[in-house]
């Protein structure tokens, strides 16, 4: 069984560690961006941006920012937005086919509204930069970031064309591109400069700089104080710096290959660490192989009087208890005559007979030796009263979820710790669990520690796979350590006891067998009720088991479960099941820490997470 769990776990790890795609929410991408810049004789420039998107899901808006600083001016009157042949209207309505525009001295901000659902759309933005050209001492300059470094999505393909106001002498045009190192620039004729780049990443700008003969009578051109020689010197320094950076990165293919191998090696170590942890846990911890309870592998009676909460801790090997522990413990205290269940018949609105139930202190209350967690449970339930109804218990749990949650955490912790000491009151001369020696635990965690050190190294040097991988693996480790704790182990007595309880659980859950054998003992029937509840068998099923009690035994049953008779045994079992189920829904929420809701009348808080709502889009931009 453990081998199957390990194989399933390894499959899960490899899928998540080495797959490149995960289940994802809706998204969008920018397929291309094309720019046409027409420089004018008056010093202005008309810019046409055509950007193609693909929307993988439902989207309703996009936005874009163009940084201006105080030197450049764009007027609202020179602005147009198109989608194909549809011209968008400027409006604050937020309706599809409209846009909002805000222009300040520092930036232009555009937000456009549309409807898209798993489709491509192409938007064309037209605007005029009134003072785009700078006339320096001996040269004119157009210097502009067509795509700024603030975009949140990469551009798969970028092309741009800058058209001069007039043809220039063949040797009097200079063009420079800044940003992506895979970019290309060319001057195909004496009036155009062409730029292109593929796969422009996020936060990477695409900038063009074109130099041409100084314009005369350009009324809107800015006046600069640079010279052609000075500008060319700037570009030369930039080119030299870029060349040095490229030379430094010449070994990048080797480093990249090493980084990938290093990352794969680290993840392989992670898998080895988990296998080693589980092997050590099996050999020295809770995962040790259980002996056979008997030849048939089943037991028809509970192997001991161990309280349900301790049985749960012994079987789970930790405090990951189910809410049924609380109900089973209550029934256990009823069976031991510490408390009683009182039932009172009550006519419903439709004339049927129903029951209302209460817990009542019995003759052994205060006289029987109880374990600490059992005492805490009684104090929590009764709160000083002699009788408390199921409705009141449910109400108290729901109205004070924080207090209830703290109690259940303490209840689980204390009941589990009882397994570390001999439970002589229930016939055990030695403890059922013991602490795993520190050296074994250290060995179990050693490779995890080495793994995290190597992951930190990989992140520092930028090797595959980085922060996401270490976060995912940390979650996996937490799940494994919680599901397979390595702090305690079962003693030899604990191993035998665990095997015996598993055998009884197997037999009890096989109702097709159980129903063929009438239960002829009240004591055994009550034990079935207690431990069957713990193992997840419904109370109605347990209470409905065929019985062959004598009249004397039924009278004894009636002293513990007030109001039950031979005649109403069936109604009693069904009603008791319904009442316990209602109370269980309240306990479930407190057991889980108070998040979410389960069952009628339960309550809880919201958990984190979510996403996947409507709207979306992206933008950014900038200008030099």
- What's the pLDDT tens digit per position in 480-533? 666 666 667 788 888 898 899 999 888 877 754 445 555 555 566 677 778 877
CB 210 within 8 A of CB 150: no
End-to-end CA distance of the chain: 65
Q: pLDDT grade, residue 224 (50/70/90)?
A: very high
Q: pLDDT grade, residue 253 (50/70/90)?
A: low
The two three-digit tokens of residue 327, written as one number: 């109900």
The two three-digit tokens of residue 226, written as one number: 């640079």
Token look-up 């776990």 returns: 9
**Distance in angstroms (rounded) separating the CA atoms of residues 599 and 589:** 9
Residue 189 pLDDT: 92
Query: Quick one: which of 120, 138, 119, 118 has its CA closest to 51?
Result: 120
Residue 89 pLDDT: 95
Q: For residue 609, is pLDDT > 50?
A: no
**Residue % of the chain over a pLDDT of 90:** 26
Q: pLDDT grade, residue 23 (50/70/90)?
A: very low
Q: Which residue has the higher pLDDT, 93 or 509?
A: 93
Residue 269 pLDDT: 76
Q: Return the DSSP state at 425.
A: G
Q: CATH 2.60.40 spans which residues of the chain?
A: 26-246+603-620
Residue 335 pLDDT: 84
Q: pLDDT grade, residue 594 (50/70/90)?
A: very low
Q: What is the pLDDT of residues 192-219, one digit of tens each?
A: 999 999 999 888 889 999 999 999 999 9
CB 193 within 8 A of CB 162: yes
Q: Which fold has domain 26-246+603-620?
A: Immunoglobulin-like (2.60.40)
**Residue % of the chain over a pLDDT of 70:** 68
Question: Mean pLDDT for the chain?
Answer: 76
Q: Which residue has the higher pLDDT, 337 or 468?
A: 337
């Amino acid at each position: 069984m453990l081998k199957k769990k390990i194989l399933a776990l390894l499959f899960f790890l490899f899928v998540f560690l080495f797959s490149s795609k995960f289940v994802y929410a809706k998204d969008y991408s920018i397929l291309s961006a094309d720019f046409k810049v027409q420089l004018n004789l008056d010093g202005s420039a008309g810019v046409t941006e055509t950007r193609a998107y693909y929307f993988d899901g439902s989207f309703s808006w996009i936005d874009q920012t163009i940084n201006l600083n105080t030197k450049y001016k764009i007027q609202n009157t020179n602005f147009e937005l198109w989608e194909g042949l549809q011209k968008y209207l400027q409006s604050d309505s937020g309706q599809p086919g409209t846009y909002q525009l805000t222009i300040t001295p520092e930036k232009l901000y555009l937000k456009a509204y549309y409807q898209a659902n798993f489709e491509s759309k192409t938007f064309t933005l037209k605007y005029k930069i009134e003072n785009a050209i700078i006339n320096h001492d001996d040269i004119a300059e157009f210097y502009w970031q067509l795509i700024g470094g603030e975009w949140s999505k990469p551009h798969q393909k970028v092309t741009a064309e800058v058209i001069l106001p007039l043809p220039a002498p063949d040797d009097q045009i200079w063009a420079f591109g800044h940003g992506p190192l895979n970019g290309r620039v060319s001057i195909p004729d004496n009036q155009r400069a062409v730029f292109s780049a593929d796969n422009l990443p996020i936060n990477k700008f695409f900038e063009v700089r074109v130099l041409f003969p100084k314009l005369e009578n350009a009324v809107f051109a800015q006046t600069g104080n640079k010279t052609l020689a000075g500008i060319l010197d700037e570009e030369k320094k930039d080119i030299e710096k870029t060349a040095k950076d490229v030379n430094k990165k010449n070994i990048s293919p080797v480093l990249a290959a090493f980084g990938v191998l290093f990352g794969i090696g680290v993840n392989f170590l992670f898998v080895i660490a988990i296998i080693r942890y589980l092997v050590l846990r099996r050999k020295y911890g809770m995962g040790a192989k259980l002996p056979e309870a008997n030849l048939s592998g089943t037991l028809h009676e509970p192997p001991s009087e161990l309280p349900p909460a301790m049985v749960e801790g012994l079987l789970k090997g930790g405090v990951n208890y189910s809410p049924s522990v609380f109900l089973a413990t209550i029934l256990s205290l009823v069976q031991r005559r510490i408390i009683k269940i009182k039932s009172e018949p009550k006519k419903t609105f439709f004339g049927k007979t129903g029951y209302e139930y209460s817990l009542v202190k019995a003759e052994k209350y205060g006289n029987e030796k109880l374990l600490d967690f059992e005492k805490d449970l009684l104090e929590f339930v009764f709160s000083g009263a002699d009788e408390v109804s199921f409705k009141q218990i449910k109400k108290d749990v729901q109205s004070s979820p924080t207090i209830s949650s703290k109690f259940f955490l303490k209840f689980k912790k204390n009941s589990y710790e009882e397994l570390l000491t001999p439970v002589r009151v229930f016939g055990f001369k030695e403890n059922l669990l013991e602490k795993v020696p520190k050296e074994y635990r250290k060995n179990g965690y050693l490779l995890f520690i080495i793994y995290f050190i190597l992951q930190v190294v990989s992140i520092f040097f930028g090797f595959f796979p980085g922060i996401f991988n270490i976060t995912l693996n940390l979650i996996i480790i937490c799940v494994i350590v919680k599901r397979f704790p390595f702090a305690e182990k079962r003693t030899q007595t604990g191993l035998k006891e665990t095997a015996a309880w598993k055998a009884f659980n197997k037999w009890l859950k096989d109702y097709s067998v159980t129903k063929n054998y009438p239960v002829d003992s009240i004591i055994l029937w009550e034990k079935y009720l207690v431990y069957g509840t713990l193992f997840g068998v419904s109370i109605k099923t347990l209470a409905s088991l065929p019985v062959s009690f004598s009249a004397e035994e039924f009278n004894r049953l009636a002293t513990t479960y007030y109001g039950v008779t031979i005649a109403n045994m069936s109604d009693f079992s069904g009603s008791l099941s319904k009442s316990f189920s209602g109370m269980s829904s309240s306990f479930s929420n407190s057991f889980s820490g108070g998040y979410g809701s389960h069952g009628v009348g339960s309550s809880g808080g919201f958990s984190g997470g979510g996403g996947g709502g409507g709207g979306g889009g992206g933008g950014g931009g900038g200008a030099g």
